[in-house]
Structure 1
């Protein structure tokens, strides 16, 4: 693959991380404070919002790092190696963790939506869950295909 293509993808990976960082810095505290305003008797909900979003940010950035590593392997012509399979496996697990965290946080979305009379908040939560599950399954399929391609390649190397 051309180096320009992977350079573009590496730039895209970095650009994907910047808005999420901005959301973590600016929007998550606002959501948490708004939750505390909606439910003053349940101040712990503020901390649950922080836990859900910041805990989801950790595997998100780890998955971005793994994607960056995968693009590095492609640059070095090591795309068809066990290293790439391991990277895809880690991305898959990160996506499952993110999805699980948002499933656990969905009751908080429900409470906010119920009090604020905004059912769109629940839809946003469901979209986050669905998107991370799609990424997890896509990474799982790619992992399986890459593993089969590596097996075929090693089999062909042995027969020649």
Structure 2
């Protein structure tokens, strides 16, 4: 049963990465061109959009890789190890990085909202940073719990 559930999660990790790759290939250039059209005074904004979105993809895929490693540790019965704690810590830092990069892009969403007179665009711009921070907090909580479980396990091993 455990192998089936981790296999399902591994497939899910891969399937999460595919749409993000498609978005990077097809949607990010369109967003950059749209930014250049909406804000012709700031022609360089197109490149800022590219840098922000493509820079946030790097920690995203690194976090997916760390999640995949964590699932391998679970398969090998090494879930309660320092390697798992390190993977969760790296996932936490990746999520914080993604959130910070997208917060830096928020002024662009404000400019779009101001140009089109649609204040809801700013709220849409807050979705990714908020989701990333939720993931970072969740990973931090799991990391702390796992550290405590490892400490308890090592104390029990020393007691026997």
| TM-score bin, normalised by smaller chain | over 0.9
How many angstroms apart in 1 are the aligned matches of 2:120 and 2:32? 17
Tell me the C-alpha RMSD between the 2 structures: 0.9
The corresponding residue for 2:86 is 86
Q: How does 1:40-119 map to 2 (within 5 A)?
A: 40-119=40-119
How many angstroms apart in 2 are the aligned matches of 1:33 and 1:129? 23
The corresponding residue for 2:12 is 12
Deviation of 1:122 after TM superposition, in Å, equals: 1.1
The corresponding residue for 1:158 is 158
1:128 matched to 2:128? The reply is yes
Deviation of 1:123 after TM superposition, in Å, equals: 1.1
Deviation of 1:109 after TM superposition, in Å, equals: 1.2
Give the TM-score, by structure 1 length. Answer: 0.97
Q: How many residues align?
A: 160
Deviation of 1:40 after TM superposition, in Å, equals: 1.3
SS at match of 2:86: helix
Q: What per-residue deviation string (whole Å, max 9, x for no partner) do you get for residues 23-48 of structure 1?
A: 11111100100010011121111111
How many angstroms apart in 2 are the aligned matches of 1:60 and 1:115? 30
Runs of 4+ with deviation above 3 angstroms: none
The corresponding residue for 1:27 is 27
SS at match of 1:80: coil
How many angstroms apart in 2 are the aligned matches of 1:71 and 1:35? 39
Structure 1: runs of 5 or more not aligned = none
How many angstroms apart in 2 are the aligned matches of 1:57 and 1:121? 21
How many angstroms apart in 1 are the aligned matches of 2:21 and 2:118? 25
